[in-house]
A and B are shown apart, each in its own frame.
Chain A
Amino acid sequence: MKSIAGKLLVGLLVSGLIGGTVLGVMVTYEYELLSSDPPPLWRTVREIIEHVLTPFAVFLALFGAGALLVVRSMEKQLKKIAREVCEAAQDLRSYQTPDDALPRELRPFTDAVNVLTKRLGEHARRQEAFAADAAHELKTPLSILALSLDKLPAEDAAPLRKQVHALSDMVDQMLLLARSNAPDVAQRRSLIQPAALARRVVAELAPAAFQAGKTLSVEEEAPIAFRGLEEAVAASLRTLIDNALRATPEGTEVIVRAGPGASLTVIDGGQGLQPDELDRLKARGIRADRAPGGAAGLGLAIADRIAEAHGGELVTCQPVCAGLSLRFPEAHAS
């Protein structure tokens, strides 16, 4: 029996049994029920009902009802706190149980959990600060590299410049990932319209896609807004589109679909990824295409982590079509 109410019930039954037995013995002794001249049976039964069963029934009923009330009210308080904790978890906020919200007996436990969440929050803040610093520090040598490339002949510089860009993109993505995981991110989240975001990112990438002989387009299918760090979501969408463009043969189209619901899907002309293949890529952070050359990337792994930090996920559209989908929890009207 795991519940407190159950334990109380068993406790009451046991104490009732023991008490009943003691009282029974006392009654037996008092009324000389076991003597050579016992009183008539009906009197014995009446005595037992009057002096043993009735007081016990009254006591058990009152105590049981009281205990049940106390347990119910505690359950209510706990459920309220649990709801608050769940809401905090949804927004990745840290949560501190207020001192007077729960009975004193639970304080050691809530205090310990409070310490844990506080330390986790500090840790995440430090991680974000570190990632931000690291990203910053990396940008200066990257700038020096980019400027130095200017001295090389154009044909030598072009492929190197591509690598510098890829590195710089990755640094940006890591910075955005750290930001989406930050404990105070809830305050920085805004309402994102999937269709508007898709159009913005596609407008950015379409000219380059055209130069590579590929077409980009946007389709809408009943999109619903969601909350998030717009730059971070845009970065993961950009990664998916970059990946799709690499996997797509020249002369074909990559479609970015906003919706249905709070989702963004990138459909390409490649073979698509099986769920287990995608899981492997997410975990190991290697690139999706098997083509040589191009930018190396933690791309998909970071895109998945960014989605996760928003309470969403990166999933494959297989077997329906070849593509990847970012799914987010829909924003509520509140």
Chain B
Amino acid sequence: MRTLIIEDNAELARLLAERLAARGIDSDIAGCIAEADDHVAVGQFDAIMLDLGLPDGDGIDWLRGLPAERPPVLILSARSTLDDRVTGLNTGADDYLVKPAEVEEIAARLRALVRRPGRRDPVVLKVGNVTFDTTSRQAEIGGQAIAIGRKEADFLEILLRNAGRVVPRERLEGTLYSASDPVTPNALEAVASRLRRRFAEAGEDDILHTVRGVGYFFGRREPS
């Protein structure tokens, strides 16, 4: 995988290239828009990392001028407000990260960007011991199949797809129940506790969590 790093701070660009290389991602470096143009004209890149404040212009303007047939662009900027991120993404950036970002995350996002077009999410979702086959709707814990109902399966799928993030209850309700279905306040919690019971029977407690008043999330506590 080959990327182009457009960043005016030479030290930062060099370090970024070095740390990405340690993760199997090669990079070229451009220190300004003119250099970036040269690189894009002659090189083939799988992804571009773009800083916004550049000495000879704004990265956003440069991004606007790129042809439609371009590699995915990840903006890596110090500008952190919602407005900045929305502007960046609306201009056509494929992802936005705020400085200082962890190399691990930058690498993960780059990989996600490169595999995004045409690829569907994996058919078998896996978090820790728990796997879920999205076609057969079968859940397994440590290779042991567990019996869950249709609503529980839908619930589990959404949480697994968003593992480690809180999924708002409105979104779960919207997926699990049709608009005409009356949703009682405790319906979701009932689904969650049925799932918890199944997990506990298979020896996996403390993995499905309620954030009261907000939603649910899936994840295991890492030993600190």
Query: Is B196 an interface residue, CB under 8 A from the partner?
Result: no
* B211 and A206 contact, CB distance less than 8 A: yes
Closest to A232 in B: B81
* A202 and B211 contact, CB distance less than 8 A: yes
Contact bitstring B196-224, A, C-beta under 8 A = 1, else 0: 00000000000001011111010101101
* A176 and B81 contact, CB distance less than 8 A: yes
* Contact partner, B12, options A143, A164, A206, Cβ 8 Å: A143
* A211 and B224 contact, CB distance less than 8 A: yes
* B217 and A143 contact, CB distance less than 8 A: no
Is chain A's binding surface mostly helix, strand, loop or mixed? Answer: helix
Query: Is B116 an interface residue, CB under 8 A from the partner?
Result: no
Closest to A151 in B: B19
Are A164 and B15 CB-contacts (below 8 A) given A176-B81, A203-B214, A211-B224? no
* A203 and B215 contact, CB distance less than 8 A: yes
Query: Is B68 an interface residue, CB under 8 A from the partner?
Result: no
- How many angstroms between the C-alpha atoms of A145 and B78 in the bound complex? 14
Query: Is A224 an interface residue, CB under 8 A from the partner?
Result: no
Query: Is A87 an interface residue, CB under 8 A from the partner?
Result: no
Are A142 and B100 CB-contacts (below 8 A) given A207-B219, A217-B211, A231-B82? yes
- How many angstroms between the C-alpha atoms of A146 and B12 in the bound complex? 10
Query: Is B164 an interface residue, CB under 8 A from the partner?
Result: yes
Chain A contacts for B165, CB-based, 8 A: 203, 207
Query: Is A150 an interface residue, CB under 8 A from the partner?
Result: yes
Closest to A175 in B: B80
Chain A contacts for B100, CB-based, 8 A: 139, 142-143, 145-147, 164, 168
- How many angstroms between the C-alpha atoms of A213 and B223 in the bound complex? 11
* Contact partner, B19, options A136, A145, A150, A207, Cβ 8 Å: A150
Chain A contacts for B53, CB-based, 8 A: 136
Query: Is A291 an interface residue, CB under 8 A from the partner?
Result: no
Q: Which of under 10, 10 to 19, 20 to 34, or 35 or more describes the interface residues of B?
A: 35 or more
Chain B contacts for A23, CB-based, 8 A: none
* Contact partner, A144, options B12, B104, B168, Cβ 8 Å: B12
* A149: min CB distance to chain B, Å: 9
Query: Is A35 an interface residue, CB under 8 A from the partner?
Result: no
Chain A contacts for B19, CB-based, 8 A: 147, 150-151
* Contact partner, B219, options A145, A148, A179, A210, Cβ 8 Å: A210
* A202: min CB distance to chain B, Å: 5
* A147 and B12 contact, CB distance less than 8 A: yes
- How many angstroms between the C-alpha atoms of A176 and B81 in the bound complex? 8
Are A143 and B101 CB-contacts (below 8 A) given A199-B168, A206-B166, A211-B222? yes
Contact bitstring B99-136, A, C-beta under 8 A = 1, else 0: 11111100000000000000000000000000000000
Are A220 and B213 CB-contacts (below 8 A) given A135-B78, A147-B12, A207-B166? yes
* A217 and B212 contact, CB distance less than 8 A: yes
* B80 and A217 contact, CB distance less than 8 A: no
* A146 and B102 contact, CB distance less than 8 A: yes
Chain A contacts for B11, CB-based, 8 A: 144
Query: Is A216 an interface residue, CB under 8 A from the partner?
Result: yes
- How many angstroms between the C-alpha atoms of A168 and B99 in the bound complex? 8
Query: Is B175 an interface residue, CB under 8 A from the partner?
Result: no
| Interface members, chain B 142-165 (any A CB < 8 Å) | 164-165
- How many angstroms between the C-alpha atoms of A227 and B50 in the bound complex? 34
Q: Could you list some 30 contacts between A and B, CB below 8 A?
A: A139-B99, A140-B78, A143-B12, A145-B100, A146-B103, A147-B12, A147-B19, A147-B103, A148-B15, A150-B19, A150-B102, A164-B100, A175-B81, A198-B213, A199-B213, A199-B214, A203-B165, A203-B214, A206-B166, A206-B209, A206-B211, A206-B217, A207-B164, A207-B165, A207-B166, A211-B222, A215-B211, A216-B214, A218-B214, A231-B83
Q: Enumerate chain A interface residues (CB-CB to B < 8 A).
A: 135-136, 139-140, 142-148, 150-151, 161, 164, 168, 172, 175-176, 179, 198-199, 202-204, 206-207, 210-211, 213, 215-220, 230-231, 256
Closest 5 CB pairs of A and B: A218-B213, A217-B212, A139-B78, A203-B166, A146-B100
